[in-house]
Amino acid sequence: MKKNIIKLILLLLPFTGYTQNSFNTEKNDSTNIYYFVIKEFCKIHANYGDTLFIEKERMNISNLPNNISGVIIKYLDIGNISHLTTKRKTIKLYRIIPLRFEESGFFINIIQFDVSRKRKSLFYHNRDGKSFHFKYECGKGLTYIP
């Protein structure tokens, strides 16, 4: 019986505290493609002191900045969105569509929604959007195509 307990402890020991972690040191690095896209988007659509609400349901935002060039960026989950729409009638919410490939490269879309709430339901009204296209060429590397 003691041998079985010792075997069980030894078997489960690796799972108790020595798990693999993922770290990304590119949080505020312009080589992070999503950081670059948000920065470019802020240049076009935001002014110093503005606040952008970005939906965080569809992607991992742990490595994205909270402030770019004086523009405050808040990442909202469904609970935050629901709470803000009870305080205000409508909020502007931006959704980052993860990287997608096309024939000559790849692109990332940012779509603007006006989100309103009626009783317990949220309504997303598509208002605008911007595509950020990139191309990779041998010798040149990655190029942003405005």
Domains along the sequence of the chain with CATH: 22-145 (2.60.40)
**pLDDT number for residue 76:** 92
For the cut 50, the answer to whether the pLDDT of residue 6 exceeds it is yes
Pairing of strands 71-76, 51-55: parallel
Whole-number Å distance between alpha carbons of 45 and 110 = 11
| Cα–Cα distance measured from residue 96 to residue 129, given in angstroms and rounded to the nearest whole number | 10
User: Smallest Cα–Cα separation from 81: which of 65, 51, 57?
Assistant: 57
pLDDT higher than 60, residue 17: no
Q: Is the pLDDT of residue 18 over 70?
A: no
For position 8, what pLDDT does the model report? 55
- The predicted pLDDT at position 25 comes to 45
Give 125's pLDDT tier (boundaries 50, 70, 90). very high
pLDDT band at 56; cut points 50, 70, 90 = confident
pTM value is 0.74
pLDDT tier for residue 20 given thresholds of 50, 70 and 90 = very low
What pLDDT score was predicted for residue 103?
A: 81
Burial-class residue 52 by CB neighbours within 10 Å (0-12, 13-18, 19+).
Answer: buried
Given a cut of 80, is residue 31 above it in pLDDT? no
Q: How confident is the model over 47-66, as a mean pLDDT?
A: 81
Cβ proximity of 77 and 98 under 8 Å: no
Q: Strand 67-68 and strand 90-102: pairing?
A: unpaired
